[in-house]
Chains A and B, each alone.
Chain A
Amino acid sequence: MPIEEINWQLLMPELVIALTLLIVLVFDLFDSISKKVLGWMTIVGAAIALWVSIQMHLDGTVGIQFNQMFKVDNFSLFFNMIFLISTILVVLLSMSYLDRGDKKQGPYYLLILLATLGMMLMAAGNELIIVFLGLELMSLSLYVLAGYFRENPASSEAGMKYLLLGAFASAFFLYGIALIYGGAGTTSIPAIAEKITAESSSPLLLAGMFLLIVGFGFKVAIVPFHQWAPDVYEGAPTTIAAFISAGPKAAGFAAFLRIFMEALPNLQGEWSGVLILLAMLTMTVGNVIAIAQTNIKRMLAYSSIAHAGYVLIGLAAANNDGISSAMLYLLVYCVMNIGAFGAVILAKTEDGESLMISDYAGLGTRKPLLAMFMSVMLLSLAGFPPTAGFVGKFYIFKAAVGAGHIWLVIIGALNTAISAFYYLRVVVTMYMREPEEELEFSPYASTLVIGLIIAAVGVLLIGILPSLMLTPAQNSVF
């Protein structure tokens, strides 16, 4: 097999991240350097990669590399933006968070960068094996990060649980790849699409397809494969919970979209019904269970499950609008969800974080800035205009109505009303209830506030001027 010329320009975002990773690794060796610098290095690296991705998206620098295995197109570049924005926001939230417990910071940023690299691989994989490699790179980093606070039993438990269930999911995924290889004779995404016609669908292919759904289902926490999510979110460091709920979920959906829309479009008759059912189930179960939560991290965990259901509506619609709406929604969701977790981190007392929703009573008057951040994020998650969450949901529903899935949209819209109940309950607690005990809240950390301002401005800006991100998303369909 001849080795083709490598167009390094196409690999710029990944290269920048890899380089940043090495720099962080080297600088971590010097004890004399303040560990905060490592965080800033990560942010600068991710920001450069983000800038490069945006430039490539604008210039249309696209192409396929490495023997058709690595596809840089607007789709992967758009997802790069989602991942890198998530990474930047999460690192901003992390910098003060890590200071609290005198944690080792070098490996933390290293693992975040590794996970980001894995996500970028997943979005650009034009070959099932590459997607799997990216998935594993991302997942392994995340297992470690979830258990990063070793002295905290909850964190260790979260890491362990995530590892075991994640390994299961990876096995399902790999098995699915194997079966598809057995049925189609190739693992290259475009080649699979050529091999499979609607008539030639063998049981082997179908089994492989369903195993892929199960694998992805675990990774992006779709009901009934969601059980790990609340425990992991609750136990993992809050910054990592924010990270897991954002970027990796988007990456899972990126590969999900790529494989199902590009490799298996001819099996749409088989999978679209399944996805519709899963979407309905995921939204409803996620939202209904979230109502019963008293711990805000668990509530956000169930809410993030429900949001995976909304994204699935876009996948089930399976038209161009469906794909771009899922992409837009993932972007919006990442920003607002990280923002919500950020507000949780901000609400820190001397004893640690305030995780019970009842602790937030009276925040509206005592910590107006914090309460405002939290409210914007929650209202956006609930889908109230004029926030980005509303635009995202609206576009997804529009795509599904266009594809004729009226019932799916009705269920989705009613779910929005259900979700308003528990999001608003937090707002109620902050603004309308008096605190039972006076909690001493710590002063705000500046990096955290910067991160939250970015998230809040983003959420409102996309809400008022949706075209800013909508047009790029519409131009990024494969």
Chain B
Amino acid sequence: MLLSTVIFLPLLGVIAIALLRGLGESAIKGIALAIGLITFVISLGLYTGFNADTATFQLGGTPIEWVSGLGISYHIGIDGISLWLVLLTTFLTPVCILAAWNSVEKGLSGFMMSLLALETGMLGVFCSLDLFLFFVFWESMLIPMYFLIGIWGGERRIYATVKFVLYTMAGSALMLVGILALYFQNDNSFDLTTLSGPFEHSDLLFLAFFVAFAIKVPLFPFHTWLPDAHVEAPTVGSVILAGVLLKMGTYGIIRFCLPLFPDAAEKFTPLIVPLAVIGIIYGALVAMVQPDLKKLVAYSSVSHLGFVVLGLFSKNPAGLQGSVLQMINHGLSTGALFLLVGMIYERRHSRMIVDFGGLSKRMPIFATVFMIVTLSSIGLPGLNGFVGEYMILFGSFVQGAFSKVYVVFATAGVILAAVYMLWMFQRVMFGTLDKTNENLPDLNAREIVVMLPLLLFIVWIGVYPKPFLNKMEKSVGLVVTKVQATPAMGQLENGVPVGTKLALRETEHEKSEKEAQTK
């Protein structure tokens, strides 16, 4: 019941705004913010009510029969993986509403309605345990996003929004076929929890799902829609897009592709991991040469999401936990970056790096916040990005599922990230202050309120990630046991990777000796 409330409360907000839109702009904003905040507060109940000792889905209540003639039920629930994505969604939405406070010039009610409808769609995707329900949310979430980019976007918004929708629909068309094929192998039911392999044609089914998710992530070479969508979307649209929507792709991989089709996942790993690594390097290299701040952040997303996919296909606890954590991290830091870019754009109406320089003198608070977020995005120890990336690289390195050479290249991506982010920071913040920028005001109180919660979590996860990792440990462990027959390496102890030295020293020979001893 709690979970259903969280999912559908924003939809209630949509209806409320539709009915009360005559009350004026401030009322609309107030309703939207209130709904967003209430949803977040209620969703905190999910955190406290969540039992981390089990990997089963919980808090969803009993499934309700929806379309009996087709074996469809309203079946929801969360585990340690979706819990965090749900919280990320409910957290980012009120932040976005507050961030959009003064930046919507036309159709404010439509904007807020789209944003809240989007929240329901995203939450539904993360909570659905019925494949039909999942697909309904997956598709219906496209419509509000389509409007967000298409109505409130930049100059080439129509091109960007149509491209976004068509790419996603092409992918989901194949996924629909996959879902239907699974239905007949699941005793005519769409229930995810009763699905158990091995399935017929599992290679094709894996691909049908994977392509849909790879487009969403986006994995190289399916990424071309992303820079367009990001650049044209309004600030808030970019934040949601980067913060949550892309995670639906990686979430799909960890929820469907890996546990349902382990053999196929094994088979395609040698193909997918290089793509992930290419994405990391390519995204970073392209980001480096972007003259547009927003485009730079957009390409950095391609790079960061490459890390997440790499970690997922390491198929061990460290890599997977790192990936899930990195999904949250990316949502926080890239979301924050987009917000900051949006704030400077609102002041200067330009996003070109050459138009700036020396801003740190004029806008010290802005520069400080920007610095922290930049460092978090690079993966500086002590901030959240480091924990996720370290775990991903660690997990990928110790697991011999694919060549360690890939991990070496991926690590180079971390350095490249430092290059493009710091170089951008230097050009924007230091140097001589341009005359046109002399009167730019620093962050106001509202903007600081928008940024503070993000900074809080950025530091928190960086310093003390244990509460985050603890909740997901069991669920990730279940995925690992499903995808991997012998989850020997990359184990975690109390949520912390077992000393790197130890894991590296333990050769195959020693391992088998150890196993013999235990027998």
Contact = CB atoms under 8 A, between A and B. Distances in A.
Interface string B65-78: 01111100000000
Contact of B139 (A390, A424, A470): A390
Contacts of B139: 384-385, 390
B180 A397 contact: yes
A431 B150 contact: yes
B162 A413 contact: no
A386 B140 contact: yes
Interface in B345-399: none
Interface stretch (A299-307, A347-355, A414-422): A414-422
A432 B162 CA distance: 12
B146 interface: yes
A398 B183 contact: yes
Interface in B143-191: 143, 146-147, 150-151, 157-158, 161-162, 165-166, 169-170, 173-174, 176-177, 180-181, 183-184
A410 B161 CA distance: 24
B142 interface: yes
Please report whether the interface of chain B is mostly helix, strand, loop or mixed according to DSSP.
helix
A413 B177 contact: yes
A406 interface: yes
Contacts of B24: none
A420 B147 contact: no
A406 B158 contact: no
A417 B136 contact: no
A394 B166 contact: no
A394 B158 CA distance: 28
Contact of A417 (B69, B70, B173): B173
Contacts of A416: 169, 173
B467 interface: no
B282 interface: no
Contact of A385 (B140, B147, B169, B180): B140
Interface string A427-466: 0100111000000000000000000000000000000001
B107 interface: yes
Contact of A397 (B68, B107, B176): B176
A431 B181 contact: no
Q: What range describes how many residues of B lie at the interface?
A: 20 to 34
B200 to A, nearest CB: 11
Nearest to B132: A394
Residue of B67, B142, B151 ringed by the most chain A CB atoms within 10 A: B67
A420 B181 CA distance: 23
A390 B138 CA distance: 13
A415 B141 CA distance: 20
Interface in A41-67: none
A86 interface: no
Contacts of B181: 401, 406
A424 B162 contact: yes
Contacts of A385: 135-136, 139-140
Contacts, number: 86
A379 interface: yes
Interface in B116-140: 132, 135-136, 139-140
A466 B136 CA distance: 13
A467 B170 CA distance: 28
Nearest to B133: A385
A185 interface: no
B70 A470 contact: yes
B146 A424 contact: yes
Contacts of A379: 143
B70 to A, nearest CB: 7
Contact of A384 (B132, B142, B161, B184): B142
A413 B142 contact: no
Contacts of A424: 146, 162, 165
A203 interface: no
A425 B107 CA distance: 20
Contacts of B136: 385-386, 390
Contacts of B162: 421, 424-425, 428
A470 B150 contact: no
Nearest to B150: A432
B151 A406 contact: no
Contacts of A431: 147, 150-151
A395 interface: yes
Contact of B151 (A395, A401, A414, A432): A432
27 contacts: A384-B139, A384-B140, A385-B136, A385-B139, A386-B136, A386-B140, A390-B139, A394-B176, A398-B180, A402-B184, A409-B180, A410-B173, A410-B177, A413-B176, A414-B173, A417-B169, A421-B166, A424-B146, A424-B162, A428-B150, A428-B158, A428-B162, A432-B161, A466-B70, A467-B67, A471-B68, A474-B69
In the A-B complex, list the 3 residue pairs whose CB atoms are closest, starting with the nearest. Answer: A413-B173, A417-B169, A401-B180
Given A417-B173, A432-B157, A474-B69, 18 more contacts: A365-B106, A386-B136, A394-B132, A397-B176, A401-B180, A401-B183, A402-B184, A406-B177, A406-B181, A409-B177, A410-B177, A413-B174, A420-B165, A428-B150, A428-B161, A428-B162, A467-B67, A467-B69
